[in-house]
Every structure is written in C-alpha cells, then in structure tokens.
Amino acid sequence: MVSGRAYLTEPQYSELRNVKVFNLCRSYRYQSTGYYVSLLAMARGHRPLPSITTIQDMKTLSIARIVADDLDDIVQRSLSPIKSPTFTLSIYFGRNVAKRYDELASRLFRLFQAPLIQADFALEDEQWELRAVRPIAASDIPAAHLPFVSEAATTFFAQNRFPSSRRTPTQADLAILHNPNEPTPPSCRKTLPKFVAAARRLNLGVELIEREDFGRLAEFDALFIRETTAVHHHTYRFARRAAAEGLVVIDDPDSIAKCSNKVYLAELLARHKVPIPRTLIVHTDNWEHIPPEIGLPCILKQPDSSFSRGVSKVDKPDQLEPIVERLLDKSDLVIAQEFVPTEYDWRIGVLDRQPLFACKYYMVKEHWQIAKTVGDDTSYGPVEPVALEQVPRVVLASAVRAARLVGDGLYGVDLKLVGQDALVMEINDNPNIDAGVEDRILKDELYNRLMRVFLARIQQKKDGVPRGLG
C-alpha cells in the first residue's frame, strides 16, 4: 500500500517492472491524483485497475449501456424481485453484500474493472436498464459494509492473479477471444489448443477469454480475436477497447470496419486499380443500370454479408427488382458484380503483409458458392491446401497487394483466376484457420509464425519502437 502521491512522485515506483497497480484513490476525476495514477501506470508499462479506458467508459453513459447490453439476461433475472423503480448495486472487488447479487456484481466487475464501483439501474417499460456506473470512494462506503469490504479485499488480493498454468515468468500475456457456442467459428475447438501451444513455445502467457471478459483486457499485452467479427458486435468493442489500452490487436478495429463492408472494399480496390469483377455500387436511383453495365447473371451482395449469407445470384431480369429492394431495405448501398463461374476460389492467408497459407476452396456440388445455407444448416465444398510455391505468382501478388491496402494484420483474400488475371473477390479480416485444413502444409509452423508476429509487436510497443522500424 502506497499513497497515490508517492506513486506519482517517488522514482522507485516509476522504475518498477512487471507490476499491477490497484488504484484505490478517492476520485478518478479528470486530472486528479487518481486519474494520474492510472494514466502514468500505463505509461510506465504497469497494469492499472481501473485503466484510463475503464474510467472513461464509466463516465460515458452510451458506452456503459452498450457494454451492459451483453448482460441483459442476468440483469433482468437478478433484479426482477425488486419492487422499487430504481436500484443501486454496490460492487466491492466483484462482490456485493447480498449474495443473491454476486453473479451480477461479478459480471459487472469483469466489464468495468475498478475495485469499488456502484451501478445504478432504473425500471423502464418493465425492463431494468443500466443508467450509470461510477467509482466509490472508500470514505463513501457505509460503515455497515466495511467489514464485508475488508473481507472481499483480503480474498481478492490473496488470489493468484494469473492463470494457474503459468508456472514461470512469461515475456508477455496474450488473450484469445473465442465463443465456444458459435456454430461456424473461424477456428474450431481443436484448433485453439494449437494457438495456445505455439504461444507457450515462445514463453507467452496465454488465456482463452470470452465475451464477459471485456473488462479484463488491461491485464494482457495482446488480443487475438478468434470469433466471427462485425462492427455492431462485441468483437468490435473488444478490438476498440484493446487498441485504446495499447494492446497489440488482431483483428484490429480498423480492419474489422473495413473488411466488414463490401462497398468500402469495392471502392478501395477500384481506386487502387486492383483487378476485380465488373462491379457497380447500387442505390435506389441506379439499380436499373445493372443489366447493361454488369450483365446477367450477376451477384448481388449485402455489404456486411458473411459465410455466403446475404449474397444472391440473379439469373433473369424479373428476379432483379425484388432482390434489390430486399437488400436496399437493410442498406442504402449494395454491391452488384458480374458472375464469374469457376471450379474453386483461391484463399490466400496474409499475415503482416506476407503470404501465410494458400487453399483452393471448391464450390459445393451443384451450387455456385463455396458454402450453401439452407435454414440453419450450412454445407461447404472441399478444401485443398496448396504450398505457397505452387500458387500462381499473379494470385499471390494480387492477394498481398489487396491485403496491404487494408492493413498489416491477418487476412484471408479470396480470388478467382480467370485466364492470366487474378480477380480479388473479398478481403476477410477474420479468416478460417482450422486444424487439418489451412495448416495442413505448414502444420505447427503456421501457428508459430502467428505468435512470432504477436511477440515482435509486443516487444516493439514495450521498447517504444514505431511499427515497421523495429
């Protein structure tokens, strides 16, 4: 235990390495001592709880509500017996004096990691809503609660703050975000241990985390998202929070935003003269231009479509208007592309601006896509991994060039080889990497390369070296 002023002013604390700082200052008000404790802890490479990002999130009502939406079921269940129109929950190191609220308190603590906080709820149209989250000063704790707070703090600090499997000091700590209940994840269950093993071979501490671990991001040096990403989704919030905390992030938030929208990608690729199929950005005033400019059959794409969902093939003129209208109901702009039939699509995995793996994704039998969805069931065509040296040079060159326009993360670039041209179809920020498929050529080396990129970038951040100069 040291005073906030001592931590800020005495050299011995600025020179500490590999420490966490639990900030129990009276206030986290902007430019107060408590604010500077968390701010300078980040600058010193310490891990503050709460972090500056958490402090700001607690002040921003819209962010607090968005984050709390992930807990709506437990909020309604926990607060349903309450008869009053408002309720305040005090959370002391993740616990509440009333045991029946422990689950809700624990989950909120994981989202807003600050030692002492209060959450204000209000009943609106028979639904409980989170109205505010704010820190509690120790001096504001009711006297009757002090013995419980003391016991909660003692228990909290007595715990091993790191996973039990970490028996030796690690170079850095990596979180892998996944959803064990996702029906079509980018990496299947048997693949995740391969990422973990590769990280540990490099002496990286690694932990699989899930959606409710949002508030724990400041504990780590890097975040690897292995859950299907989207902008209006918790994966994007994870990427944004991790980037704000200074973590190395794959998929980074910019890549998610760019790759999640096919209108953006069409404009980007056309501007940089990357070969693509004939493409028209469609709106309510120009959809009739599709047949003369693109031709039929053509492909219509919802901008945020994935796994071949939201993608339609139009064979006849009378099919065009109803499909366009359906898509324009969801987005003011959609994509029309010429239909380019091929036996398979190339998928080139690109990492850190270099090719990582290559596969041929074959079309589903008697279907024009690599995936076919009927109701809740999705079937896939065969996949054939190919050694990079056997991939046509034009395919590799086009894939790497396209990925570099988006960033330096991990991408899956889909292409069709037509004659001597490699047409870029899509750039995916969250490509499939599954054991026995994309890793069939490189095997463990694929996972090793990924983790070496994480480790190099973490080290660059710790050394203060700008990306690309290390």
pLDDT in tens, the chain (470 residues): 899 999 999 989 988 887 889 888 888 887 888 889 988 887 787 888 888 878 877 777 666 666 667 688 899 999 999 989 999 999 999 999 999 999 999 988 888 888 899 999 999 888 998 888 888 877 789 999 999 999 999 998 887 554 433 445 678 999 999 999 998 899 999 999 999 999 999 999 999 999 888 878 888 999 999 999 998 888 998 998 898 888 999 999 999 999 988 999 999 999 999 999 999 999 999 999 999 999 999 999 988 876 566 789 999 999 999 999 999 998 899 999 999 999 999 999 999 999 999 999 999 998 898 888 777 777 889 999 999 999 999 999 999 999 999 999 999 999 999 999 999 999 999 999 999 999 999 999 999 999 999 999 999 988 776 665 43
Q: Helix H segments across 80-185? A: 102-111, 146-158
CATH code where residue 399 lies: 3.30.470.20
Structural domain includes residue 87: yes
pLDDT on residue 308: 60
Q: Which helix (H) or strand (E) holds 71?
A: none
pLDDT on residue 112: 83
Residues 241 and 290 in one domain: no
pLDDT on residue 469: 45
Nearest to 142 by CA among 88, 78, 219: 88
Nearest to 174 by CA among 383, 452, 470: 452
Nearest to 407 by CA among 218, 238, 209, 239: 239
Query: What 3-state class would DSSP assign to 88?
Result: strand
pLDDT on residue 197: 97
Nearest to 432 by CA among 373, 374, 370, 377: 370
Check if the beta carbon of residue 436 is closer than 8 Å to that of residue 444: no
Residues 358 and 389 in one domain: yes
Residues 377 and 332 in one domain: no
DSSP-derived letter for residue 466 is: P
Q: Which residues contact 416 (CB under 8 A, 6 or more apart)?
A: 277, 340, 342, 345, 346, 422, 423, 425
Dist CA 336 CA 417 (whole Å): 20
Residues 47 and 128 in one domain: yes
Number of domains making up the chain: 4
Dist CA 364 CA 385 (whole Å): 17
Residues 352 and 332 in one domain: no
Residue ending a domain, among 158, 173, 196, is 158
Residues 189 and 70 in one domain: no
Q: Which domain does 358 fall in, by range?
A: 344-428
Residue whose tokens read 């704790």: 141
Residues 104 and 180 in one domain: no
Residues 87 and 123 in one domain: yes
pLDDT on residue 49: 84
Residues 122 and 198 in one domain: no
Structural domain includes residue 299: yes
pLDDT on residue 278: 95
Structural domain includes residue 408: yes
Residues 85 and 189 in one domain: no
Q: Is the pTM of this model over 0.85?
A: no
pLDDT digits 0-9 by tens, 157-191: 887 554 433 445 678 999 999 999 998 899 999 99
Structural domain includes residue 27: yes
Distances (CA, A) of 119 to 64, 91, 238, 452: 10, 8, 21, 41
Structural domain includes residue 330: yes
